[in-house]
Amino acid sequence: LIRPSVWPATRGFGTPGAFDLKLRTVRLVPPRPGARGMKFFNTLTGTQTLLYRLSGGRLAGKWKGRNPILLLEHVGAKSGRHRTTPIVYTEHEGDLILVASRGGTEHRPGWFHNLRANPQTTAQVGRRKISVTARLASDDKRERLWPMLVAANPDYGAYEEFTDRKFPVVVLTPADPSA
């Protein structure tokens, strides 16, 4: 999100009292669970999920116009509630690779905890629904995948600057390899 800021001019077009318009980047991160903004964030996520489903991923199917998004179905580890979360993914050797970055915050996303408790799930990629099994990538596999993931989505590299946490990499393996 870009928010304009007005700063007094110090040189250039500078008549005293003139102002230059500068832009500064504001980082968007998910709110903490229970925070006031969480209801708004959930509404945005629900709207994105609806648009994705109605359009088969043509609308709301890319992050920043470059990274593909899938819809991950998961069951709450504590609540047992069925949930759907839009998540950026990268395909690699027939698997769908997810990064549990949660926008570079200190906490892991809820879907990560839910998949650890219930790894058999479904992912929707475009109009296709795929039965998958989720597993945490080993440290070796994560280290091999990480450069590819950052090249595919440079945001992951930027997120590393925001936290000391090492982002888990989740591998979704289709139950039917031809899917």
Q: What is the pLDDT along the chain (179 residues), one digit of tens a residue?
A: 443 444 444 444 344 444 444 444 445 566 666 667 667 777 788 888 888 988 988 888 887 767 899 999 999 999 999 999 999 999 999 999 999 988 777 778 889 999 999 999 999 999 999 999 999 999 999 999 999 999 998 888 888 888 888 899 999 999 986 65
Q: What is the pLDDT of residue 34?
A: 65
User: Which residue(s) pair with 95 in the sheet?
Assistant: 92
Burial (CB count <10 Å: 0-12, 13-18, 19+), residue 167: buried
Q: What is the pLDDT of residue 28?
A: 56
Q: What is the pLDDT of residue 76?
A: 92
* Contacts for 178 with CB less than 8 Å, ≥ 6 apart: none
Q: What is the pLDDT of residue 107?
A: 79
Q: What is the pLDDT of residue 26?
A: 47
